[in-house]
Amino acid sequence: MGSLTTALASFCDIKSQGGKWFVRIDDIDPPRAMAGAEQAILAGLEAHGLSGDLPIQRQSEHQAQFESARRQLEPECYYCRCSRRSLASSGPYPGNCREFVAYRPDSALRISVDKAERTYEDAYLGTQRYRLDQDCGDFIIWRRDGLVSYQLATAVDDGQGISHVLRGEDLLASTPPQRYLQERLGLTTPTYAHLPVLCHPDGTKLSKQSHAPALDNQRALENLRQALGYLGHPPPSHPFNIADLLGWAVAHWNLNAVPRERAYVGPLQ
């Protein structure tokens, strides 16, 4: 339900502005990929009428672009062997490996960030201020296992022709690093909006990791009505079909009507 609600919000938001909505599969982390996950995502979107206006994209098909971005950024980077465990209590990355600017194997590649304060306007949350050196420190753009980082892959893909990114507030902290990479690479920066995520009654985010129940695609119309309720757009009791309900949602969409507080979701009925 959490993924559906966010996807529905992004669909309504861009469609209400006359834009094109499309699906991108972020499949850059094969070790963590679940068998059948992509098929389940696409089947769920189709069942709920959320079809893209453009062909499906897959980040795994953009490896050449990611490698080109890495080469462009390498003069600003260094090679790091610090483990997550060793950094668990350090806060922003303390710069332990900054002297290792020459290649060394079995290392992640970190980009050196500056001390500038930056701002941007989140379309939902308003003005956001950040300093990367204080908020996260130098961050990884290429992983120790040889895979592109989430931050670099997303920055590159979102920085090439994407006008709007609407996602959950759990990704708010990823926006400053991605904006920084887009700036360093000379890419376009989209307009961002971060909405509250759905939570279990104990406050944990609704997700597969927290054992949220899977959506029943046979109840797509009811699921969409429920999601619109969470988004502050409860539809009338008119007997819509899925296409008509989505048309109503797009016609009545108002980002400012989305509740500011998180919704706490019990077991689906």
pLDDT in tens, 98-117: 999 999 999 999 999 999 99
Comparing 9-13, 166-170, 197-201, 244-248, which segment has the lowest mean pLDDT?
A: 197-201
Q: Is 185 found in the same domain as 87? A: yes
* Structural domain total, the chain: 2
Length of the chain: 269
Provide the CATH number for the domain around residue 255: 3.40.50.620
> From CA 101, how far away is CA 214, in angstroms rounded?
46
Residue 169 lies in a domain: no
Residue 167 lies in a domain: no
Q: Is 182 found in the same domain as 81? A: yes
Q: Is 228 found in the same domain as 245? A: yes
pLDDT of 200: 73
Q: Is 260 found in the same domain as 231? A: yes
Q: Is 20 found in the same domain as 43? A: yes
Q: Is 50 found in the same domain as 76? A: no
**Which residue in 28, 36, 35 sits closest to 60, CA to CA?**
28
> From CA 162, how far away is CA 21, in angstroms rounded?
10
Q: Is 146 found in the same domain as 123? A: yes
Q: What is the pLDDT of residues 20-75, one digit of tens each?
A: 999 999 999 988 888 888 999 999 999 999 999 999 999 999 999 999 999 999 99
Residue 38 has which token pair? 């992509």
Q: Is 97 found in the same domain as 6? A: no
> From CA 74, how far away is CA 95, in angstroms rounded?
16
Is pLDDT at 266 greater than 70 in this prediction? no
Q: Is 84 found in the same domain as 122? A: yes
How far, rounded to the nearest angstrom, does the alpha carbon of residue 220 sit from its chain's CA centroid? 23
What's the domain range around 178? 60-162+174-189
User: Reduced to 3 states, what is the DSSP secondary structure of residue 108?
Assistant: strand
Residue 168 lies in a domain: no
Contact 50, 11 (CB under 8 A): yes
Q: What is the pLDDT of residues 69-97, one digit of tens each?
A: 999 999 999 999 999 888 887 789 999 99
Q: What is the pLDDT of residues 205-253, one digit of tens each?
A: 666 665 567 889 999 999 999 999 999 999 999 999 999 999 999 999 9
99's CB contacts (< 8 A; 6+ apart) are 78
Q: Is 181 found in the same domain as 152? A: yes
Q: Is 121 found in the same domain as 40? A: no
pTM reported for the whole predicted model:
0.91
Q: Is 183 found in the same domain as 266? A: no
